[in-house]
């Protein structure tokens, strides 16, 4: 399967309800899932690993429309990111607040954002 096919398959998943004792991404999950979202980086902010991507746009209106799509998706899935809207770009960061780190849900949501941006 190509990265594009894997990304689409991943984006087709739904977020699972997450508990405070949910396991973070394992080494095996990282090796399997992260290559499926190659445009995302793993960053650490305040000691918490997060997925981050900057999406580029031609103007503010397009960036704002994408921000609204991400916000609507987040509300529908019950999983909420940090979103920074600027002229011509939107920065999105996903992490699971309850476990203070990365969960499979974050990778699913990143893939869904990628699919919306195409």
% of the chain at pLDDT higher than 90: 75
Look up the pTM and report it.
Answer: 0.85
Decide if pLDDT at 7 tops 80: no
- What are the phi and psi torsion angles at 16 (to 5°)? -95, 150
> What does the pLDDT read at residue 22?
76
How far, rounded to the nearest angstrom, does the alpha carbon of residue 95 sit from its chain's CA centroid? 8
- Of 2-11, 14-23, 86-95, 103-112, the poorest mean pLDDT is in 2-11
The separation between CA 8 and the C-alpha centre of its own chain, rounded to angstroms, equals 13
How crowded is residue 70: how many other Cβ atoms within 10 Å of its Cβ?
22
User: Under DSSP, is residue 20 helix (H, G, I), strand (E, B) or coil?
Assistant: coil
Domains and CATH numbers, the chain: 3-11+24-117 (3.30.1360.20)
Average of per-residue pLDDT across 49-59: 98
Question: For residue 12, is pLDDT > 70?
Answer: no
For the chain, what is the mean pLDDT?
Answer: 88
Model confidence at 93: pLDDT above 80: yes
Strands (E), 16-97: 41-45, 48-56, 82-86, 89-94
Rounded to an integer, the average pLDDT of 38-45 is 97
């Amino acid at each position: 399967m190509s990265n594009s096919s894997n990304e689409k398959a991943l984006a087709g998943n739904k977020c699972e309800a997450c508990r405070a004792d949910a396991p973070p991404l394992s080494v095996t999950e990282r090796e399997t899932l992260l290559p499926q979202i190659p445009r995302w980086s793993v960053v650490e902010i305040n000691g918490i690993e997060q997925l981050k991507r900057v999406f580029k746009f031609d103007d503010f209106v397009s960036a704002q429309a994408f921000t609204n799509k991400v916000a609507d998706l987040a509300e529908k899935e019950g999983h909420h990111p940090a979103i920074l809207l600027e002229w011509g770009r939107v920065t999105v960061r996903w992490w699971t607040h309850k476990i203070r780190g990365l969960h499979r849900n974050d990778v699913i949501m990143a893939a869904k954002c990628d699919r919306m941006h195409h």
